[in-house]
Structure 1
Amino acid sequence: MKLTESTRNEIGMPVVGFGTFQLSDDQAEYSVTEALKAGFRHIDSSEAYYNEEGTGRGIKAAGVSRDELFVTTKLFPAPVKNYSQTDKNYSQTIETLKNQLKQLQLDYVDLYLIHAPLSELRMEQWNAFVELKKLGLAKHIGVSNYNIATIKEILDAGLAKPEANQIEFHPISAQVELTRYMKENAIAPIAYSSLAPLSTWRVEEGQGGEVLAEIKKEGQQIIKEVATKLEVSEARVLLRWGLQHGYAVLTKSSKPERIRENFNLFDFEISDNDMERLNQLDQNQALAWAAGGLDPMAAPPLK
């Protein structure tokens, strides 16, 4: 299938989305507006980003028709201010999305995700997600940072399957078995932290980009060689690599020129040979969550 700006995946999601992680409310407002002006029609947010009011203002300011937009947000499985508090139960999950919709100034989201399988109440939360879809508050429901075991937990219970799983995905963390499993079960794959292999990823103090920097060096040379051959940026190579693996990808920037550049992924293609060179970099190593000292892909004990 030829990829174009209008390409959408099996749940109707535009395959290139704009993410809002690590943006302040004001940055989110400005950047989301700029992204929508640049042609993005897929916005990715989360309760845990503390910027949904700004994201909502940015969506409104751009003036794009709601039926053209695909908006994703996420439930953090426990109170985001203090993870030691009690995990969210069924009714709290319902109320959380209602509150998020107020902040986003929307009547519904196109996709609602459980941010990670960190809660012992995750099955109760999933039942609430099924109800939220019935209520029309979420058109599609899915998960994030789930592995095969935690997806199977839902399927084995005979519940509605997740329609999508958003995971860290880049050449160093290619998630081969999980990707195959999602394809077999028609679960749409969404990539975050596609740019984690780069030395320029999360360089500001406290963002964690320096963690595991030593394992990225070999890959950086190969990524640079592919980018030079194609005459595109290294960031665009990594995003295009995700697209060619069948993933939707997320980009993020607060700079208008970078926002526009990262949306432009459709006028070049990585050759089969260079795709394989990038595939060979896989170390099955998460970088984004390692930066925070947490790995939600390691399944908690199933209850």
Structure 2
Amino acid sequence: MAEKTFKLNNGISIPVVGIGTFQMSADQAQQAVIDALAAGYRLIDTANAYLNETGVGRGIKAAGVRREDLFLSSKLWPTVYTQASAVDDTLQRLGTDYVDLMFLHQPAGDFLAGYRQLEQAYRDGKVKAIGISNFQGEKLQQLLDHAEIKPQVIQAEAHPYFTEDEVRQTLAPFGTQLMAWFPLGHGDKQLINEPIFTELATKYRKSNAQIILRWHMQMGFITIPGSTNPVHIQANHDIFDFELTNEEMQKIADAKKNIRYYTPSEANEERYATMQLDFASEK
């Protein structure tokens, strides 16, 4: 059976599969975290912008799993990149004195100031690893040119139709690990029901989604599938008792279409740079 963790470029181990909490309310995130931890997950991903960090924190507390046995990641939103209290405010909402991984959520606003803040938090022990999310092209290179501590993780869209090749090539010299969002292609039935996944699901007595999540692991990708359904949460973690062959991995590679479900744009980044978050609404 393959290892359930990857080692980051600073020596820290991160679980291969985590629970993502995107588009969950605080109460939904709380219950999803409880269910995920009961199912054996030890990686939890959230963000300032999800407005559910308090719920994630409540879920961790209610689950009763020791903090040191968890890997918790969150993301700073662009409008707080220049706020000196941004990291501490995030920790307060989560109810913890450190996070294992903190990202810059978008390449928007003063992201260099935001990254410097993460580097200081890393030195202070409040952040055990630094991540960037959705960076590519010129802004990715600009960040790398200025970073004293190279990022341990990049979070980006990745799935069998789109494997983020250019970004991964740029980051390969630094050993930066990819964490995939939309790991199942935003639930695209065409992707999930590709004949190769149906064939392999029959062979291994797994679901098509489990085959895809196993593919992610063998690609070296961390995955954070999100669900509020306890049955799906359990199933998404049940991928460690089989292994795809090299030939099968190649057949999946042949299905790549360079289709992505979210296209970054300057217009979006400009909007994110001014989009204030209403933390008071988080319950």
User: TM-score category by the smaller chain?
Assistant: 0.7 to 0.9
Q: Distance in 1 between matches of 2:6 and 2:81?
A: 33
The equivalent residue for 1:39 is 40
The equivalent residue for 1:152 is 141
Q: Which amino acid aligns with 1:238?
A: I
Q: CA deviation digits over 1:185-227, x for unaligned, max 9?
A: 2112111111116445xxxxxxxxxxxxxxx469623322222
Structure 2 segments unaligned to the other structure (5+ residues):
271-283
* Structure 1 residues 86-165: aligned runs within 5 Å: 88-90=80-82, 92=83, 94-119=84-109, 121-157=110-146, 159-165=148-154
**Displaced runs of 4 or more, over 6 A:** none
Give identity over the alignment, percent. 34
Q: Which amino acid aligns with 1:157?
A: H
TM-fit CA distance, 1:295: 4.5
Q: Do the aligned partners of residues 256 and 96 (structure 1) sit closer, same or farther apart at CA in structure 2, a change above 3 Å counting?
A: same
Q: Which amino acid aligns with 1:107?
A: D
Residues 150 and 299 in structure 1, CA contact (< 8 A), matched pair in contact too = no
The equivalent residue for 2:234 is 260
Q: Distance in 2 between matches of 1:89 and 1:28?
A: 24
Q: Distance in 2 between matches of 1:58 and 1:156?
A: 38
Q: CA deviation digits over 1:234-281, x for unaligned, max 9?
A: 111111111001111112211112111111111111222221121122
Q: Distance in 2 between matches of 1:108 and 1:95?
A: 14
Residues 108 and 137 in structure 1, CA contact (< 8 A), matched pair in contact too = yes
Residues 168 and 191 in structure 1, CA contact (< 8 A), matched pair in contact too = yes
How many pairs align? 266
- Larger proportion of helix: 2
**Aligned partner of residue 109 in structure 1, secondary structure:** coil
Quote the RMSD (CA, aligned, Å): 2.2
Q: Distance in 2 between matches of 1:131 and 1:145?
A: 22
Q: Distance in 2 between matches of 1:40 and 1:194?
A: 16
Q: Which amino acid aligns with 2:101?
A: L
**Aligned partner of residue 138 in structure 1, secondary structure:** coil
TM-fit CA distance, 1:158: 5.2
Q: Which amino acid aligns with 2:127?
A: A
Q: Distance in 1 between matches of 2:178 and 2:250?
A: 20
Q: Which amino acid aligns with 1:4?
A: E
The equivalent residue for 2:66 is 65
> TM-score, with normalisation over the residues of structure 2?
0.86
Q: Which amino acid aligns with 1:160?
A: I
**Aligned partner of residue 213 in structure 2, secondary structure:** helix
The equivalent residue for 1:206 is none
Q: Which amino acid aligns with 1:269?
A: E
Q: Distance in 2 between matches of 1:217 and 1:29?
A: 30
The equivalent residue for 2:281 is none
**Aligned partner of residue 22 in structure 1, secondary structure:** coil
> Greater RCO between the two (CA within 8 Å, min separation 6)?
2
Q: Distance in 2 between matches of 1:281 and 1:63?
A: 42
> TM-score, with normalisation over the residues of structure 1?
0.81
